[in-house]
Amino acid sequence: MLFNSLHFFIFFIIVTLGYWSLGWAGRWRLLLFASCYFYMIFKPEYILILFFTIVIDYFAGIWLEKTAGKQRKWLLIISIISNVGILVFFKYYNFLTENINHIFGIIHVQKHLRVLDILLPIGLSFHTFQAMSYTIEVYRGNQKAERHFGIYALYVMFYPQLVAGPIERPQNVLHQFHTKFKYDWEKTKSGLMMMAWGLFKKVVIADRLAMVVDFSYQNPAEHNGLTLLIATFFYTFQIYCDFSGYSDIALGSAKVMGFDLMENFRTPYFSKSISEFWRRWHISLSTWFRDYLYIPLGGNRVSEWRRYFNQFFVFMISGLWHGAEWTFVIWGSLHGFYLILAVLRDKYLPKLSLPKNTLGNSVNLITTFILVMIAWVFFRAKGTHDALTILKKISTFSFSETLKTPLNHTEMLFSLILIVFLIWKELKFFQINTQNTIRFYGLSLVFAVMIYFFGVFNTNQFIYFQF
């Protein structure tokens, strides 16, 4: 079910009002049932995969707690292998097969591995990582094993964050499912406002910018540098509004029911370095990789060059997590490369580092933005060839070129105004204050009118659903 659909609107009203009409036992049952329905609307049969993961990790958690010594490690490994195994099979099997076949072709081996006709279950990477964080935390002793199967299932399946995060930690949410929250009007207002803002970002900004991006990226060879530059600039904001919009709706809908989920975005385009960008962008994923991959690899306690390798490796894997395409691997690797380059610059060429004054900060901010934008080209392009074509054309663009877009001048101008409005809003009012009820109603009305009249409703999926 898409957050930007009427179906979700009705679903949300029923689930939320039903939730507040029931006792604790009724609430978790309703949420679990609603989450199953929410997931099964996409493709019902894939609930079986989710159920399989839940059962494995539920029992793994209990056994991990009961067991001591080497056996614990084995239990954790089995649990991780089963989770990663599902992920690899559905997400990476065809990617691996195609690459192996390609290598076979190069070395003239006649063998040809079969490519399977499989569809990626929606949000698989998200709920697999969330499930893995549970068993790892139980193994580390930071989290008690959950004995209540329904509550554990809800931890993996909680509908607001089931298909596109935030990727939660058991310490943050499991106890909340055991709590019978008291209704809080302030939380409701705040949650609803988050949802409205998220929906605005998705349907008014992201889906409008998407028209330009899709048009230009469909066949980049046909377009000039200026068109591709504008499209890439728009995509930088499209993906932010799309994904952070989803996260806002997720956090808001959970908040209305009393739950506090972890923050996923903190104005990432105001970052003054790549490392800062990753502390502000998709926070739940970057901290997941930090806690469960980077630190186990040695973190900062290893030799300098090993640390660089670890950082690069983590970013490369993070790219691969997004999709089974070389473009995603390059995107992740580019970020790793940026990060290492910045560290090396600070160490060996400290004079190149800019002073921390307004001018220095502005240059750093713009440089970071441009570097992130360049990397997005790989993220969005249909393949490495397209990405390189786009970058080549952008690098030689001139203002004398004619801009080709499916939007007319008025709508292009309107799109730019929306981007400026977004930047202004994020800078001045990161959180919208809803304490004043009249202000809340007024703003809700404004958002409703804006979303209805300026929203682009083409039932566009959220970009991150595919991961």
Partner 1 sequence: MLIKISKYLFLFLAIFLWLQAYSPWVYKSTGLFPDDYRYGDLYRLSYLPEFKAKPVNCDSTTTSKSDSSNTNLYVIGDSFTEEARVKKSDFLSEHYTYTHWEKQADIQLDTTKRNILILETVERTFKDHFSKEVRNFSLKNQPNSNLVSASWKQNLKNKVAEIVLFCFPKGIEERLEHTLFNYDFFLSFREFKAHFNLLFFNRIEKKVMLSKDKKNIYYSEEADSNDTHSAFYPVKQAEIDTFVSTINAAREKYLKSGFNEVYLSIIPNKVSVLSPDLGNYNHLVERIQLDSRVKTPIIDTFSDFRKSPSSYYLKSDTHWNCEGRNVWLAKINLIIENKKVD
Q: Which residues bind partner 1 (CB under 8 A)?
A: 5-7, 10-11, 13-14, 17-18, 20-21, 40-41, 44-45, 407-408, 410-411, 414, 452-453, 458-459
For the record, the structure tokens of 406 come out as 């499916």
Q: Residue 210 and residue 242: Cα distance in Å, rounded?
A: 10
Which is nearer to partner 1, 1 or 295 (by Cβ)?
Answer: 1
Total H helices, total E strands in the chain: 19, 0
The reply to whether 322 belongs to the active site is yes
Q: How far is the CB of 18 from partner 1 (least distance, A)?
A: 6
Q: How far is the CB of 417 from partner 1 (least distance, A)?
A: 13
Q: Residue 167 and residue 27: Cα distance in Å, rounded?
A: 22
CA nearest 166: which of 127, 198, 205, 203?
Answer: 127
Give the active site residue among 127, 223, 322, 335. Answer: 322
Question: 405: which residues sit within 8 A by CB, 6+ positions away?
Answer: 212, 215, 216, 227, 230, 231, 412
The sign one gets for the Cα dihedral 342, 232, 428, 248 is negative
Nearest 5°: the CA angle 372, 376, 381 is 160
Q: How far is the CB of 41 from partner 1 (least distance, A)?
A: 6
Which is nearer to partner 1, 396 or 458 (by Cβ)?
Answer: 458
Q: Residue 220 and residue 229: Cα distance in Å, rounded?
A: 11
Helices of type H across 282-357: 283-289, 304-322, 326-348
Residue 306, CB-side half-sphere exposure with 13 Å CA sphere: 10
Nearest 5°: the CA angle 448, 430, 199 is 30
Q: How far is the CB of 2 from partner 1 (least distance, A)?
A: 8
Q: How far is the CB of 166 from partner 1 (least distance, A)?
A: 26
Number of C-beta neighbours around residue 133 at 10 A? 24
For the record, the structure tokens of 55 come out as 């059962």
CA nearest 378: which of 340, 322, 339?
Answer: 322
Q: How far is the CB of 239 from partner 1 (least distance, A)?
A: 22
Which is nearer to partner 1, 399 or 453 (by Cβ)?
Answer: 453
Burial class (CB in 10 A: 0-12, 13-18, 19+), 54: buried
Question: What is the amino acid identity at position 155?
Answer: Y
Q: How far is the CB of 196 from partner 1 (least distance, A)?
A: 18
Which is nearer to partner 1, 388 or 456 (by Cβ)?
Answer: 456
Question: What is the amino acid identity at position 331?
Answer: W
Which is nearer to partner 1, 26 or 141 (by Cβ)?
Answer: 26
Which is nearer to partner 1, 11 or 217 (by Cβ)?
Answer: 11
Which is nearer to partner 1, 15 or 394 (by Cβ)?
Answer: 15
Which is nearer to partner 1, 10 or 302 (by Cβ)?
Answer: 10
Q: How far is the CB of 345 from partner 1 (least distance, A)?
A: 45
Q: Tokens 């591995």 correspond to what residue?
A: 113
Which is nearer to partner 1, 348 or 453 (by Cβ)?
Answer: 453
The sign one gets for the Cα dihedral 111, 117, 122, 124 is negative
CA distances from 62 to 135, 222, 374 (A): 9, 58, 46
Q: Are 130 and 168 in contact (CB under 8 A)?
A: yes
Q: How far is the CB of 338 from partner 1 (least distance, A)?
A: 37
Q: Tokens 């690069």 correspond to what residue?
A: 312
Residues tagged active-site: 322
